[in-house]
Structure 1
Amino acid sequence: MEMQSLTYKDGEHRQIDVNGVQMGVVEFGRPVSTDVTAGPTLVFIHGFTGNATSWGPLLEHFAAQQMHVISLEMLGHGHSTAPENAQRYAMEHCQADILAALHSLNIGPGVAILVGYSMGGRIALYTALSGYFRAVILESASPGLSSANEREQRRRSDDALATCIEDYGIEAFVSYWEKLPLFASQEKLSIQKRNTLREQRLRNNPRGLANSLRGVGTGVQPALHERLSEITVPVLLLTGEEDPKFCGIARTMATQIPHAQHQIVANAGHTVHLEQPEAFKALVRNFCRSVQ
């Protein structure tokens, strides 16, 4: 698990070797000292179709707040490997890859605050069960689907969508994805921001996205409802007021996770960090201070 390069600059997009695959990573504010516990470390996990840079200027903002910022790319996204076997993308492998990446980056247990958005939020929630993190921030996340019937229906839907990506290509898929009701609130973003988001999505590997749906989609992930009480570290749940489905999910999770708080952000939908970045910054900063 050695880094591909021993010298790099803040914000440089690079790959690290973890568990037989390569994981894309962007890092800001790496401490000069070997004392990795000297300051807070934020570890970001993007959503489906995202990559390590999807958080945009937020990464540099938190680094400017004297934080060590690490943004990781899950398999099939960005600069990470896109294996042929969909099972390699499964939730347990996501957890193992994240922990191996942090070990490679000299981030020990109890140091980092894990931040996950949407798909990345589901992955972060599962990974939090490892007990490796100081705290967790979940944006528009869920513990999965509670019934076997719901999971099977969603699995079939995700598999059909994966086939469409393979059959019709990345551009047709991204055009479809952008028009989902879940992302309707993104229409309020500037044209420049929407174009940047689209260009980033188009750079993904179509096979990687298809296998990500098959391997770690909501329909195949383990349902975590009965395990939420096992997460004993502080948890911040963030949702947008224009995303009532995930507001409801977060309200329920907040009653089941022992040390959870739920914040609803006004004038935002599913992608709070993109639609209301100033509110996101403030909530994350305040939460990080509270868990130091």
Structure 2
Amino acid sequence: MPDTLVLLHGFGGTHRAWDPVLPELDHERYNPIVPDLRGHGTKAVVRPVSFDGCVADVLAAAPGQFVLCGYSMGGRIAQLVALAAPERVSRLVLVATSAGIEDAAARAARVADDRALADEIEGMSAEAFADRWMAQPIFAGTPPEAAAVWRADLLRSDPRDLAEALRTIGGGAMEPFWDRLGELTMPVTIVAGSRDEKFARWATERYPALISHAEVHVIDGAGHGIPREAPRELAAIIQGAA
């Protein structure tokens, strides 16, 4: 019987963010469950948009034990799921993500930035939001084909709901939990793109220092948008074939 594989998307995306990856998976080995997170897609209007709510939704969607993979914001939530119910997560795959902003001043600045951006995008059309979000420096160098897939997914959510999500489950809203990563005893795989310098540094330095059994992969030439930029390579890593 195939193992259940739960895939969590990043901010602004939906379950469709995993469309490039799904055909690359061996469906005799894995049965994918690809939920939307609160504030996004089919769960856009579910309230409250909160980390606890997202964790509860993931645990309710998945039967028994499951392999859990999260990208960016979805990776932050995946870690919270694994910490909340470690007996249910048989393997954890974290893609281009972190365990929060530790420095208090930096986190306060991020909260202010997230709130200002949320206020900005709240009144935008979906098209204007997609252009605004994709223009951030972290996404520079996204290949055109990947950018087209990504933009189509960004258009599937209402900017008003995304603004709420940015305020409540954005990077600034999350209490850092690096000090709890040692509690993760299941197999853990960390993935980053070589062009995504900050996240690659966390993947190769910070995570292995705190999770001694972590397996680390840096995908050459990929940026922050790994599921859309390197779906075949990511699928191979998820399946333990890389």
The answer, yes or no, to whether TM exceeds 0.5 is yes
Partner of 1:197: 150
TM superposition score normalised by structure 1: 0.77
Matches within 5 A, 1:61-210: 61-83=24-46, 88-102=48-62, 107-108=63-64, 111-130=65-84, 131=86, 132-186=88-142, 188-190=143-145, 193-210=146-163
Q: Tell me the equivalent position of 1:39.
A: 2
Q: What is the CA-CA distance between 1:65 and the residue it aligns to?
A: 4.0
Partners of 1:227 and 1:233 in 2: CA distance: 14
Distance 1:196 1:139 in 2: 18
Contact 1:90–1:221 at 8 Å: present in 2 too? no
Counterpart residue number, 2:13: 50
Write the letter of the residue equivalent to 1:59. L
Query: Whole-Å Cα distance in 1 between the matches of residues 11 and 72 of structure 2?
Result: 7
How far does residue 216 in structure 1 lie from its aligned partner after superposition?
0.5
Equivalent positions of 1:262-273 (< 5 A) are 262-273=216-227
Larger Rg: 1
- 1:240 is matched with which residue: 164, 171, 193? 193
1:159–1:133 distance in 2 versus 1, CA, 3 Å: same
Shift in Å, 1:57? 3.6
How far off its partner does 1:285 sit? 1.5
287 and 141 in structure 1: CA distance in 2 versus 1, 3 angstrom threshold? farther
Counterpart of 1:272, as a letter, is: I
Tell me the SS of whatever aligns to 1:42. Answer: strand
Aligned residue in 2 for 1:33: none
SS in 2 for 1:145: coil
Partners in 2 of 1:48 and 1:285 — Cα distance? 24
Aligned to 1:212: 165
CA distance in 2, matches of 1:67, 1:114: 11
Aligned match of 1:229: 182
Contact 1:164/1:173, CA 8 A, preserved across alignment: no
What code does the residue aligned with 1:264 have? V
- Aligned residues: CA RMSD: 1.7
Deviation at 1:230, TM superposition (A): 0.7
Structure 1 gap segments, 5+ residues each: 1-37
CA offset at residue 66 of structure 1? 3.2
What runs of 5+ residues in structure 2 fail to find an aligned partner?
none
Which digits, 9 at most, give the CA deviation of each residue in 1:179-198, with x for residues without a partner? 11111131x232xx433321
- What is the letter of the counterpart of residue 285 of structure 1? Q
Moved over 6 A (4+): none
* 2:22 pairs with one of 59, 64, 86: 59
Q: Look up the equivalent residue of 1:189 and give its one-letter code.
A: P
Aligned in 2, Cα 1:252/1:287: closer, same or farther, shift over 3 Å?
farther
Offset of residue 287 of structure 1:
6.1
Aligned mates of 1:81, 1:174 — CA distance in 2 = 16
Tell me, in whole angstroms, the C-alpha distance in 1 between the residues paired with 2:40 and 2:241: 28
Q: Counterpart of 2:211?
A: 257
Q: Which moved more, 1:56-65 or 1:172-181?
A: 56-65
The alignment partner of 1:53 has SS state of helix
Number of residue pairs matched by the alignment: 239
Contact 1:82 1:207 in 2 (8 A): no
